[in-house]
Amino acid sequence: MKSKLDINESKAPEKEKVTRWSKRVTIGDETTTIEVEKIENGYLITKSRDYRDSTGAYMYETKKMFSKTNPLEAEALITKDTDGLKAIRDLFLED
């Protein structure tokens, strides 16, 4: 007599593509964070800045921008002028 063996095959879940990137730099009492999120027609960039003002009070600023390219991707950081990576510091200083 043969027995029937049920085998439930399951596939490993496919790796989801990364849709968010972030970089954070802290210098002294100031922290700047760049977050990039892939959206349907490009990238949503959020720049946040935490710092102390001249009175010692903590301040928080946020700006949101749109870009057709991801400024945090390694390929986007390469510049033709320097043949190397654009300094991450420059991304944080741009307004």
pLDDT tens profile 37-80: 999 999 999 999 999 999 999 999 999 999 998 888 765 555 54
Q: Is the pTM above the cut of 0.75?
A: no
- Residue 77 sits in which domain range? 20-93
How many domains are contained in the chain?
A: 1
15 within a domain of the structure (yes/no): no
What's the 3-state SS for the chain? CCCCCCCCCCCCCCCCCCCEEEEEEEECCEEEEEEEEEECCEEEEEEEEEEECCCCCEEEEEEEEEECCCCCCHHHHEECCCCEECCHHHHHHCC
Q: Is residue 77 part of a domain?
A: yes
Residue 8 placed within a domain: no
Residue 67 covered by a domain:
yes
CATH number for the domain harbouring residue 73: 3.10.450
